[in-house]
Amino acid sequence: MLRNAQHGYYQFPVLPPAYTSWMDEQRAWTTSAVLYDQSFHMFEVYIKGPDMLRVLSDITANNISTFDKNRGKQLIACNYDGQLIGDAILFGLDDDECVAVGTPLALDWVRFQAEHGNYDVEIKRDDAIGFNKTGRRTLFRYQVQGPAALQIVEKASGGTMPAIKFFRIGEFSIAGHAVRALNHTMIGTPGVEQTGLEIYGPSQYREEVKDALLAAGAEFDLKLGGAQSYSTIGMVGGWIPLPLPAIYTGEQMRPYRQWLGADTPEANMSLGGSFDSDNIEDYYVTPWDVGYGRVLKLDRDFIGAQALRAGAERPHRQKVWLVWNDEDVTQAWSRSLFSDPPTKSFTFPTPIYSTFQYDAVLHNDTVVGASTRINYTRDVGKVSSLAMLDEAIARDGTEVTVIWGEPNGGSPRPGVERGHVQIPIRATVSTAYPA
């Protein structure tokens, strides 16, 4: 079902591909600042009521005890076997209200648990444009990212912006309208002092706030960021946004699958890449595999806690960056255009063509993991990817091979050329972003 699903790589709605060029916009996040409009593509679920904290504590694998008004918190949602369903960011709106923001994978699980458990909470969903029947959003969201970000926002606020600690939320005004901002950075480029604020407020004021930010940013060379450069920004911070959710097997998960229905993203997103297994569970990951092991809080009970405790001392795959060989990338791109049969097409800056991208990574002809997010970024000057590899291989400088292209010559999905051939691409492991 997933191999033949018609949805390909997620396209960011409303955003143009670029405002200047994607390379120019990538440079801005290390030299000045870039503004990304996040108002349209992210899913949101509002949770309100006296049991807000209890329902979140029962779901997430990390510590939630300090979460309250004007705090940010990550949500890490697992199934009953401790395998990852998805993640999201929680924004504390009040002592008994928050909004969870991210992909639908974790948010649907939150809604299901809240609605089917014995919780005194109200749930309201606000889906991304394209999935939202109203065509409207409750809040606008702008990410201002880069060395000049704080100066720009402070100027736009007319001096009303308070000091905001990391992963805390501040309240102030822009263009005469009340806004809030979460202090977090989407980027961690070595040698560059990074700051980032995610600013949000009522959607009816989005244009006025945006204009004020752009006016304040003119002297700092603030750039507007389009969909192409936005699709690459998570690579820098090391976030794997779309591992396959571990929901498709198991009797305990059957009620959830039936509740989701055939029209949900989980039933229509596509699985692609050269990693090919008949067992869907081979695509499941744990929090350790995607780099969340250090924030797990296993001394309490939550969905999946028992399984995670039992597996804590076992070997885990580790998240790493792979730097792809220039010569092999060039050959793959060239052969996709000028050879017969061609290789899988190679587009820039984001070659990904499936919702869930899993390309086989080999070491000495043995599969040792999967490469997922793939991007070209100007600060690295190369194609690189995020991968989950066996512990023994996840060492700086280890040489591996990524297999590029679909098994069996492709699939009937849009964006996948029929009759293409696979090609090996050499890559080097890096345990930190290779800028």
| Burial tier of 355 (Cβ tally within 10 Å: 0-12, 13-18, 19+) | buried
According to the annotation, is 313 in a ligand binding site? no
Which of these, 101, 118, 112, lies nearest to 49 by C-alpha position?
A: 118
Per the annotation, binding residues for substrate are: 198
Residues of each annotated binding site: 198
